[in-house]
Amino acid sequence: MWYCSAVKNFGELIALSTAVCWTITAFSFELAAKRIGSLSLNLIRLLFAFVMFMVLSMVIRGMPLPLDAPPSAWFWLAISGLFGFVLGDLFLFQAFVLIGARVSMLIYSSVPLMTVLLGRFILDERLSWLKFLGMGLTIIGISLVVIFRPKQAAADKTAVPSALPAAPAAQLGKGVLFAFLGALGQALGYVLGKYGAGSFDAFGSTQIRSMAGIAGFAVIITIARRWKHFASGFRVRRAMIQVTAGSFFGPFLGVSLSLLAVQHTSTGIASTIIATVPVLIIPPSIIIFREKVSLVEILGAVVSIAGVGVMFV
């Protein structure tokens, strides 16, 4: 491989780098989604990322596509892409509409726990009690930040605008179910991605996942008859600049790093560290957008960081 992994806690460090990438992506995609809509954004970001993968593959591997990947890798990585890129995001987006971003993200914080369970049964991964303690602290800290974060500042890696309508009582159960299905889709994306990739190049593996994501969203846009709306998004210049930046730090670099992380540490640990995006978003929110932060949010951030520190031990 063209990158070095001879570093202690390499997987954990890469997972933390992924969280930083997705923090940048959150700001870029949140602004873009308000201009062109989340469905168009999802397909455009994957198309942009796919072009970036082709350029990188030509430079590093001498071929535009990862044609040297075994058939089994193509199959499982494609399934992983459908779960992670398409189904997971779609269910989460709909949960935002039904029950709001705050409750949805709180439920979505169960991704690490689901990933641990799936990793145990599919990959036979085992964690020490100290790693479980670190995961528990991190998830508690993230939950505190999500619960007590001001409504106008709510943000997430999928970058759907937080100003979504609150859910009627009759829709609460459906919204909760969709949020859990979104979390399950993301967890399956992690585990099946690791299973399918094996030791194959993380960027080439993510390119395969992105191809499956493009196909999935193309089918959805066709069914929804939204191609005209999709095409109009390219004419919004400011949104395209934001999508380009978000695509680089999101599906191109961030998702590739997340796969590289799970290749070098357990899926549970990697997904927990990556899930700290709501915590990492706090400093730029204060500095750039001058948002107020409560003491509980600060406490949540400290607890979360302590949990990540424990997982590095």
What HEC string does 181-216 produce? Answer: HHHHHHHHHHHHHHHHHCCCCHHHHHHHHHHHHHHH
Per-residue pLDDT band for 168 (boundaries 50, 70, 90) equals low
Q: 197-208, pLDDT tens digit by residue?
A: 998 999 999 999
Per-residue pLDDT band for 61 (boundaries 50, 70, 90) equals confident
Tell me how far the alpha carbon of residue 246 is from its chain's centroid: 12
Question: Mean of the pLDDT values across residues 250-264?
Answer: 94
If you search the block for the tokens 């302590």, which residue do you land on? 306
Locate 144 and state its tokens: 């505190």
Assess if residue 283 is contained within a domain.
no
Tell me the CA distances in angstroms from 82 to 77, 87, 121, 189, 192, one per residue in order: 9, 6, 20, 8, 10
Locate 56 and state its tokens: 């990188």
pTM, rounded to two decimals: 0.85
Structural domain count, the chain = 1
Assess if residue 308 is contained within a domain.
no
Assess if residue 303 is contained within a domain.
no
Euclidean distance between CA atoms 283 and 291, whole angstroms: 9
Is residue 267 within 8 A of residue 125, CB to CB? The reply is: yes
207: containing domain:
10-132+159-278
Q: 209-222, pLDDT tens digit by residue?
A: 999 999 999 999 99
Comparing CA positions, the residue from 273, 253, 312, 262 lying closest to residue 11 is 262
Give the side-chain half-sphere CA count within 13 A for 63: 8
pLDDT at 37: 83
| Higher pLDDT, residue 61 or 155 | 61
Assess if residue 4 is contained within a domain.
no
Euclidean distance between CA atoms 100 and 102, whole angstroms: 6
DSSP-assigned states of every residue in 248-297: IIIIIHHHHHHHHHHHHS-HHHHHHHHTTHHHHTHHHHHHHH-----HHH
Least confident range from 104-108, 179-183, 241-245, 249-253: namely: 104-108
pLDDT at 157: 42
Residue 188 pLDDT exceeds 50: yes
Euclidean distance between CA atoms 153 and 162, whole angstroms: 8
Locate 45 and state its tokens: 């970001």
Residue 164 pLDDT exceeds 90: no
Assess if residue 297 is contained within a domain.
no
Share of the chain above pLDDT 90, in %: 53
Residue 276 pLDDT exceeds 80: yes
Assess if residue 140 is contained within a domain.
no
Assess if residue 310 is contained within a domain.
no
Assess if residue 224 is contained within a domain.
yes
- The CA-based dihedral angle spanning residues 229, 230, 235, 240, taken in that order and rounded to the nearest 10 degrees: 140
Provide CB contacts within 8 A for 152, sequence distance 6+.
162, 163, 291
Euclidean distance between CA atoms 181 and 267, whole angstroms: 18
Comparing CA positions, the residue from 159, 102, 105, 51 lying closest to residue 276 is 105
